[in-house]
Amino acid sequence: MQMTFWKKLSKRLPFHDKAVLPSERLLLWMLLGIPITWVGSFWGIGWLLFSLYHGLLFSFTLIDLLWMRKMPTLTVTRRAKDLFEIGEENTVMIRIQASAPLKTRMWVQDDYPHGFKINRRTLFLRWDDEQQKECSYQTWPHRRGRHPFHKIHLRLESKRRLWRIQQSFQVPLEVKVYPRLEAVRRVRKGFYQRQLALEGSSIRRIVRVGHEFSHIREYLPDDDPRQINWMVTARRGKLVSNLYHPEAGQQVAILLDCGRLMGIQNDGKTRLDYALEAALGYAAIALQRGEQVSFLAFSDQVQRFVPLGKGMEQLQRIIEASYDLEPSYVETDYLKTWNLLSSHHKSQALVTLFTDAANISFAQNIQTWIAMANRTYRVMTVTMQDPKLLEVKKKAIEREEDVYQQMVVDQLLQEREEVFQKWKKLKVNVLDVEPEQLAFSVIDSYLKIRSRAAAGQ
């Protein structure tokens, strides 16, 4: 953004990071000289009172100003987590250190990243012959990626409160803002297993596939009693379950479309935001089951690629590679992923494509990719329904315009369904749900696919 003339000028001033300003008290005393001079004018001594009053005021202000030369040197530091999470509360701590005891009042403002929400803009501190003070505020990031903090601004009063010193300190800090990891946390806590069990899914058979021991954890209500580790249970005094890896060699490839259509927003979040949160939850449960997982983000070219890996360390690698992804202003080229996909994954790997199906103009491109992938791999496509289209479809018809809108929506939904039917004929697992249900639905579908594969279906 181009700087204004005044911003450019302030950069050239030698004192732009430090200034001395008159306080409200000083301005009030100066204004009080007006009625004193006016009253004195009735006795013909207006100029005398004016000179005496403002002479005394000038002396006091000069003495107060000279005191400021003895003010201790200040050092300012900022402390915060390197990793923030979008929409979650994060605390920023500011520490101010004085070279000698300080007695004053102080106001603190931080140059936080543009767009972040904070609970308070100005922080107030009262110093009482102290050498160190701390204050904090809470901030809520608004989008993923890298975000810089800049200067910290201090304003403190002189001894007689006639002047205020304003000083800025360069305290650079860059934080990483991750997508919401609620789906990942729920996987760790076994939330999805419990939910699927409540809904009647055969979760015991789905999750317990395999014979290679992985680790133990606290028993959950939906666990198979045969998996209880009675020796550890007796030692700990509470029920503990054994967890097992699935059969070795199973692979999961997660492909994330970052093209133009994934930048469409819904309730302040892009479709890419929803897809990424669901993809990370999906990766978490696949890795928890012992699968090898890879991650590939692309638009008209490959943007990020994380080769196959196992364990929760692989999940962290995927998060680090994906947290700052942004939609590209280009059409997606699905075929650009083929060479990378085919060279790193063996046959029968589960390839999951997170994409958008709102505009069917790319159907032929993706149809070609699906036909190629389906010859070698198990394929699952994950798309999001458009809440705005569904709202128009449910809207009561009151005007002629509403009729035409619903006709257009019906045609778009019909074309969308026809594409899905083509994919299903190729035995592709098609998932199309509302954005808020994406994480739960893709995990549910994944577990069911693995259950059918284990049963030889």
CA dist 77 and 110 (Å) reads 11
Greater confidence, 389 or 207?
A: 389
* Residue 124: predicted pLDDT: 94
pLDDT confidence of residue 425: 85
Angle at 226 between CA 220 and CA 228, to 5 degrees: 50
Q: Which of 190-194, 237-241, 244-248, 293-297 has the highest mean pLDDT?
A: 293-297
Residue 129, Cβ density class (10 Å: 0-12 exposed, 13-18 middle, ≥19 buried): exposed
- The pLDDT > 90 percentage for the chain reads 32
Residue 302, pLDDT score: 93
CATH number assigned to the domain with residue range 71-178, chosen from the 4 options 2.60.40.1930, 3.40.50.300, 2.60.40.10, 2.60.320.10: 2.60.40.10
Comparing 187-201, 333-347, 375-389, the range with the smallest average pLDDT is 187-201
> Can you read off the two tokens belonging to residue 229?
């580790």
Average pLDDT, the chain: 81
pLDDT band at 2 (very low <50, low <70, confident <90, very high): very low
pLDDT at 62 over 50: yes
Give the Cα separation of 188 and 443 in Å (integer).
13
Half-sphere exposure of 150 (CA within 13 A, CB side): 7
Residue 371: per-residue pLDDT: 87
Residues 75-98 pLDDT 10s: 999 999 888 888 788 999 999 999
List where CATH 2.60.40.10 sits in the chain. 71-178
Q: What are phi and psi of 58, to 5 degrees?
A: -65, -40
Within 13 Å, how many C-alpha atoms sit on residue 32's CB side? 10
pLDDT at 394: 67
Q: How far apart are CA 311 and CA 290, in angstroms?
A: 7
Cβ neighbors of 366 (< 8 A, separation 6 or more) are 334, 355
Report DSSP state, residue 112: P
Count CB neighbours of 158 within 10 A.
Answer: 22
pLDDT band at residue 364, thresholds of 50, 70 and 90?
low
Using an 8 Å Cβ cutoff, are 287 and 312 in contact? yes
pLDDT of 392? 65
Closest CA to 117 of 4, 268, 1, 263: 268
Identify the residue with better confidence: 402 or 445. 445
Task: Tell me the DSSP string of 54-75.
Answer: HHHHHHHHHHHHHHGGGPPPEE
pLDDT at residue number 407: 78
429 to each of 151, 298, 345, 378, how far by Cα in Å?
Answer: 51, 21, 19, 8
Look at phi and psi of residue 190 and say left if phi exceeds 0, alpha if psi is from -120 to 50, else beta.
Answer: left
Which residues share a beta bridge with 71?
none
This model's pTM is above 0.85: no
Parts of the chain belonging to CATH 3.40.50.410: 182-210+246-454
pLDDT exceeds cutoff 50 at 10? no
Reported as a pLDDT band with limits 50, 70 and 90, residue 30 is confident
pLDDT in tens, 255-312: 999 988 888 887 778 899 999 999 999 999 999 888 999 999 999 899 999 999 998 8
Who wins on pLDDT, 63 or 286?
286
117's enclosing H/E stretch is strand 117-118
Provide mean pLDDT across the span 401-415.
Answer: 74
Q: Looking at the domain that runs over 182-210+246-454, which CATH code has it been given? A: 3.40.50.410
Residue 428 neighbours by CB under 8 Å, 6+ apart: 370, 374, 379, 380, 381
| Listed range (113-122, 137-146, 238-247) with the worst mean pLDDT | 238-247
